[in-house]
Chains A and B, each alone.
Chain A
Amino acid sequence: KAGVTQTPRYLIKTRGQQVTLSCSPISGHRSVSWYQQTPGQGLQFLFEYFSETQRNKGNFPGRFSGRQFSNSRSEMNVSTLELGDSALYLCASGSGSDEQYFGPGTRLTVT
């Protein structure tokens, strides 16, 4: 079974730009969660999508948004990038009531 895939793996953007990250979950998994990892704040939950609906949301500003498609693939978007958005963005795939499996992450650098 293929694991969770995230694209791109690395990204460099400039302040003020926007970015879209993609996550393809494990086949058959309907839940996709996103996490931000920074040295200062650690691992923080962004949001979770289940069957194309946002089921949970963390405490992040509205610049962070996401969506899930009918094939369970998910995208997250960050608009008006700030230097503090530089982080490793991790996506997790789950069946809905089971453990979550993480992808390799997308490392975003904002300059």
Chain B
Amino acid sequence: AQKVTQAQTEISVVEKEDVTLDCVYETRDTTYYLFWYKQPPSGELVFLIRRNSFDEQNEISGRYSWNFQKSTSSFNFTITASQVVDSAVYFCALSGLMEYGNKLVFGAGTILRVKS
């Protein structure tokens, strides 16, 4: 069975601080995909990134960066120089081979509060 654990329920930081959101996953699949989504108060899930299990390269997109470590089954997300607009709930998710169906297993989410 697939499982995603986001141990941090809530994180509060002051603007301009860096913050890392942790994600640990479990799966028996050899091919799988990992995702991060952002959910602002409006409720819509906003896609941030998708990585497949064969691509362990870290990725940076502006102030966002992701660290994928297969050895520890982790896919952590770092926001550099946080801003108030980053306040949201962040979800890490896992899926198997997508050609056989799109079923995302989500973690419980981490509430990020960025204070000015």
Binding site for B on A (CB under 8 A): 31, 33, 35, 42-45, 48, 50, 55-56, 58, 88, 90, 92, 94, 96-105, 107
Given contacts A50-B101, A55-B101, is CB(A43)–CB(B43) below 8 Å? no
Contact B91 A56 (CB under 8 A): no
- Looking at B12-20, B63-71, B79-87, B102-110, the stretch in contact with chain A turns out to be B102-110
Contact A100 B106 (CB under 8 A): no
User: Please, how many angstroms separate the alpha-carbon atoms of A45 and B104 in the complex?
Assistant: 7
A-B contact pairs, 5 of them (CB 8 A): A35-B106, A56-B102, A56-B103, A90-B43, A103-B44
Give the residues in chain A near B103, CB-CB below 8 Å.
33, 45, 48, 56, 58
Give the residues in chain A near B72, CB-CB below 8 Å.
none
The DSSP consensus for interface residues of chain A is strand
Known: A48-B103, A100-B47, A103-B44. 7 other contacts (CB 8 A): A42-B107, A42-B109, A58-B103, A88-B43, A99-B35, A104-B42, A105-B43
Which listed residue (B45, B47, B98) contacts A96, Cβ 8 A?
B98
Contact A100 B104 (CB under 8 A): yes
Binding site for A on B (CB under 8 A): 35, 37, 42-47, 50, 91, 93, 98-109
User: Please, how many angstroms separate the alpha-carbon atoms of A35 and B107 in the complex?
Assistant: 13
Which listed residue (A43, A97, A105, A107) contacts B99, Cβ 8 A?
A97
Q: How far is the CB of B28 from chain A (nearest CB, A)?
A: 17
Contact B47 A43 (CB under 8 A): no
Nearest residue (CB) in A for B95 is A100
Give the residues in chain A near B104, CB-CB below 8 Å.
33, 35, 43, 45, 92, 100
